[in-house]
Structure formats: C-alpha cells, structure tokens
Structure 1
Amino acid sequence: MKYNVMFSHATHDDIEDLIEIQNKAFYDDYIKYGECPGYGRTYESMKLSVENCAVYKIMVDEIIVGDIIVRDNHDGTYFLGGLCVIPAYENNGIGQAAMSFLDRQFKGAHHWSLETPADKQRNHYFYKKCGFHITKEYKVSTVNIVLFEKSVTV
C-alpha cells in the first residue's frame, strides 16, 4: 500500500511524540544489541536535536509515523543522524519518499554520511539503493557499525 506522505519541521510540541516514534522504531534494535542511540531518548536529548538539527516529522494522514534528523556540518556536508519509520508503516515506500524529500530540501548538499549496524542488511540494501556506499566499519560500544557515504554532484 502506498501512502500520501507529508513532511514538516518538528517543534518543541512534537518532542514526546518523536520519542514515542523512535522507541517503536528502534525497540527491536535495543533488544537485539542491548543498546541503541535512537531508543530511550530523554526529553532533553530530543529537545537538543530539535533545537540544533533539522528534525522532520514523517506523517501519513496527519499521524506521525517516523522522523528524520539531519545535522548540517555547514560546509555542504550533512550527517543523517536518523531516519525511522514505525514497523506498522515499513515497506510502503516511506523511506524512499523521505530520501527524495531530503534531496529536495538540501539541494546544496554535496556529501551525506550516516551510520547503521554492520549486520542490518535490510538497511544496507535500502541505503545502497539510495546511492550510498560503505566506507568504513568500526565498533561503537558492543555494536559493529558501518559508515555509509554518498557524494552528490550539485
């Protein structure tokens, strides 16, 4: 099923909803790895993201179903700190719509990077489909992480 997906800037009023969305989206990772930076975020942590990053709500029929968190490095490079969709809405093109939204929103971007667990093949497939490639692998705490990067011609 394809949805009519909308994106809008998150505000302080959305913080508790965003925490709930991330907890739903990252619960399985938290259980699998025993830790997950997207799971169990505090109000203050999410507030800092809303204030210091570009944070967008992903909405379907006025319901928040995911979020996007982008850190602007102020040199044409961006770090995709989070792109999540709650499990009930996965596999419906929402991630693809989110990546297209980012391309439109950040037209001046010439480089993107993001991190994901090394064993999350589904994430790897998605990001490779979006033009990213793995440039590095390392361990953060107990989890093997891969760094994905994508250069954009502007």
Structure 2
Amino acid sequence: MKGKVQLVRANEDDAEAITKMMVSVENNERKRWYEDGDGPYIPGFDSVDMQKYHQWNEAYFKILFDGELSGVILISHTGREHARLDRLFIDPSWQDKGIGSTVITLIESMYPQVKLWTLDTFQKSTRNHHFYEKMGYKLAGEDEYERYYFKTIEEESHNQDEYTCDKNFNHHNFRHCNMQNVDFYSVNLQGAHYTNMNMSHVVYQNSNLSHNRYTNTNMSHSVFGDSNMNATEICHVSMAGAYLHDIKLGTGKDKIPLVMERCELMGSSILDSNLQNLSIVNCNLEGMTIDGIHVSELLEVYKKQQS
C-alpha cells in the first residue's frame, strides 16, 4: 500500500467533515447491500452532534490517508483486557487501498493490554465479513441483522495471583468482599442478586441484561449507549437532568412505538426529533409550546374553527 495511514483523535472541529463522510458511507452501504429502501442502522450517521458525542472518552479517531480524512474508528475500552470496535468505516472513495487492515494493526498496537476484541457488523455486508475474518476475527453468533465477531490476542501464561479461571461458584454466597476494579469476562451471572452494593462506574459490554430488575438503585451519571433496550419498562424512576438522544424505535418490522404514561415532564425539551403520528392524550399541556407557539392558543383557534 502506497501512502501513510494515521489515527488522530477527533475533536469538535472535525464533526462536520466526519458527518459528511458518514452520509457517503451510509449511502454506499445502502446501494450496495440493501433493497426496497431498507438500509443499515448506523446510529447518528447524519448528526453533527452525534459525532461530537462520540468524542467523550477520547477514543474516536479520524483515519487520515496521506493527511486526508478517509474514515473513522471508535473504540469502547470495557475492561483491562477487553475492548470493542464500535465502528470502523472507510470513505467509499478510499476503499480497497488496504487502509482498513492497517487501521486494525495500528489500533491493536495502541492498546497492547487488550487481549479480547469484539465487534458486530451488518449481516448483509459480506465484504465486511471477509475483511474481519481475514484480520483474525472469528464468528461468535449472528441474527437477522448482524454478525458478532471476536478476536483473541495470544498472550503469555496468566499471573495466577490475578486470575480466577474455570471455577464453579453456582449458588455460592459472597459477603463483605472487596471486588473493586475486578474484571469479568465470559462469566455466567444468570440469576445473580446484588444487594447493598457500590456499583458506581460499572461497565457492561456485550452483555445480556434481558429480564433484569433494578430497584432502589442509584444510577445517576450512568450512560446507556449502543444498547438494545427493546421492551424495557422504566417505572418509578427519577430522571432529573436525563439526556435522551439519538434513540430509535427499532428497524423494519421490529419498529414498535414508545409509550410514556403518567410521566412528569415539566420544563423538558424535545429537539430535532421525529414526532410523526405522536399521540398526546389526557395530559396537562399548561405552558407547552411548539416552535414557540403555546399549544393552548393553538387549541383555542382549533375549537373556534370547529364551532
């Protein structure tokens, strides 16, 4: 490959250029692999704000080829030895130059402590399947929409003082234990109970949390990103100051409307959102505005026209 590939942390000044590139990427994926107006689900691909948001942990890199923006890669470092390729996209005009292979090698050298890499990619993009398998990734599972891959990095034998491996703790009780900064990988925690626990700054990655119940739990400052929360029920929860953004209701036949009932939303704002066919029933609309116009005034005008 002729040309120099560099990884440079993205900043806010890069957001517009990255957004423009991501629109090209999405259009290319849609034309190449999808039919009938369907397309890949790339969260916030056309949002400048989303590109800025990805920079929160300083692991969003722009890929430069001979100094020009040619792609992006986003890393989620979830444990001392575990990390995830959240996104790796190359601009269509820069593909087939060996850039992606070089980027994978560079990332692995930047995070030498990571021994397990994971990712998911579009089910229909067979080009991606071949690429990741060529780079040493193995198929972990798949569903209708995505394929899930992992790659383990060969390492020297474990320091036995730091590892507990292949132990059966089924029905075991842990009391008054210091488990601060522990690292769990490939552990079956089904049916586990946590009570009177300090779980601040916990990170869940590639985990099945279906049917979980959180009660009397302080989850302030938590971040739920790139997660499947379909059919989740959130009730009796204080969400003061919560920031909900770039949320989808599923894709294709799995698109199911969100229902909010008996929620206190006083003073809240809904910005740049798709509210098509939104239904508001039996709600206190006092002071509510749409684009600066009071809803009460709009209703009064409507009632006059109907009388």
Same fold flag (TM > 0.5): yes
Distance 1:68 1:94, change over 3 A: same
Identity %: 23
User: 1:1-154 counterparts in 2 under 5 A?
Assistant: 2-31=2-31, 32=34, 33-37=38-42, 40-52=45-57, 54-139=59-144, 144-154=145-155
* Aligned-pair CA distance for 1:96: 0.8
Return 32-41 or 97-106, whichever deviates more: 32-41
1:65 is paired with a residue of what secondary structure? strand
Structure 1: where are the runs of 5+ without partners? none
Q: Indicate the structure whose relative CO is greater, using CA pairs within 8 Å and at least 6 residues apart.
A: 1
Q: TM-score, normalised by structure 2?
A: 0.46
Q: Give distance in 2, aligned partners of 1:85 and 1:34.
A: 17
- Give me the CA root mean square deviation: 1.8
Higher strand share: 1
Assess if the C-alpha contact under 8 Å between 1:53 and 1:69 holds in 2: no
Assess if the C-alpha contact under 8 Å between 1:26 and 1:38 holds in 2: no
Higher helix share: 1
Q: TM-score, normalised by structure 1?
A: 0.88
Q: How many residues end up aligned between the 2 structures? A: 150
Assess if the C-alpha contact under 8 Å between 1:131 and 1:150 holds in 2: yes
Give the greater-gyration-radius structure (CA). Answer: 2
Distance 1:35 1:83, change over 3 A: closer
Distance 1:98 1:151, change over 3 A: same
1:50 is paired with a residue of what secondary structure? helix
* Aligned-pair CA distance for 1:28: 2.5
Q: Give distance in 1, aligned partners of 2:39 and 2:25.
A: 15
Distance 1:107 1:76, change over 3 A: same
* Aligned-pair CA distance for 1:60: 1.8
